[in-house]
Structure 1
């Protein structure tokens, strides 16, 4: 499979965030970004962790839609802590908002700025524009798993997770051609993200760092 560029590979977490996520690896990505994957987003989650259920608690949340040939699957268990579970759910919606922007070929979607802010938002816009300029999209399924969440005070959270891109592929819009290459260690990516709860109760992603091929995410 041809790797989707790693989402916001150039965006570094703050030093404090990196220390808080010491078990999750580095955001140093020395690989050619053309071979990396952008942070995938999807419309499905495990039965034990439904972003839509949490999202319904806050009015005015934009609806996120995906084409029928692409989806993300989020696998995590609820912690039982309301704040942690809300941060986990909104972190998946942040991922989905970026992918929706790719599918719609627009950086002006409502969800993109709703679930992302600061460096995460500016990086997401750059990332999406990369797809738009190349007239690319993606198809298949990206799986997100091994979630860990840590709270810092009452309004900050750090969420780490892995992605499995072995079943998702870049597609050329003009020709419809899907680019395929064999699955390797680089099909798996470790993500570290920082979220801040805004005045409306939405956990917005403010920073994202990725590490492709990290041993912690290998099957």
Structure 2
């Protein structure tokens, strides 16, 4: 069975049209971000591992590490507005936390619990458990690009981005069988997330939806 990368989609409370409108004026600073970066990784600005970090007066972020067998590249992941950058930073860590928990086979990952809440947290755990139940693990590489970020009228964060899964595969941990992600337009997935800020200053993903081929 080939379990595709994207997590189980969760219906977002606001309509997609409203979210798109909210994101219209809050894109990243990298003008090249309207094209998904290819295998060369041009424009990537981070490795797939993150060390624990504490913002002044804020929460201690958990350490997240990905193995060499699966890596994630982030392209154009910068914004000149520090508030919007903070949303992007925690949104990035949320995705890395899910990837790491999937590789580890750990639906109860503390990092996933830190960066998700509500329906998004339930969806993430279900997605990770699906890999565990099917004896599958992610290998290869994903490229994350085209970030669009804004702050909604209610103070929540809105973060859209694209994930190119075309260089990724799933591997059966018992048989060693590898199945590649189909090389078609559906390998590019758009994520549409809502994030809510905690009292400690962390942005948790509370709702998420995905559209395969949406990029």
**Normalising by the residue count of structure 2, what TM-score does the alignment of the two structures yield?**
0.80
Give the equivalent residue in structure 2 for 1:15.
Answer: 14
The CA RMSD measured in Å over matched residues stands at 2.6
**CA displacement 1:81-138 (0-9 Å, x = unmatched):** 1110000011011001111111111122210100000110001011111001001011
- Structure 1: how far apart are the matches of 2:153 and 2:52? 21
Stretches of structure 1 lacking an aligned partner (at least 5 in a row): 25-44
- Structure 2: how far apart are the matches of 1:20 and 1:162? 15
- Structure 2: how far apart are the matches of 1:80 and 1:49? 20
Q: How far has the Cα of 1:4 moved from its partner?
A: 1.5
* Residues 84/175 of structure 1: CA separation in 2 closer, same or farther (3 Å cut): same
Q: What are the within-5 Å matches in structure 2 for residues 165-204 of structure 1? A: 165-180=165-180, 182-204=182-204
Give the equivalent residue in structure 1 for 2:90.
Answer: 90
Is the contact made by 2:166 and 2:181 (CA closer than 8 Å) also made in structure 1?
no
Is the contact made by 2:143 and 2:163 (CA closer than 8 Å) also made in structure 1?
yes
Give the equivalent residue in structure 1 for 2:112.
Answer: 112
Q: What are the within-5 Å matches in structure 2 for residues 68-147 of structure 1? A: 68-147=68-147
Answering whether residue 162 of structure 2 is matched by residue 162 of structure 1, we say yes
Stretches of structure 2 lacking an aligned partner (at least 5 in a row): 24-42
Please identify runs of 4+ aligned residues in structure 1 that moved more than 6 A.
Answer: 48-51
**Normalising by the residue count of structure 1, what TM-score does the alignment of the two structures yield?**
0.79
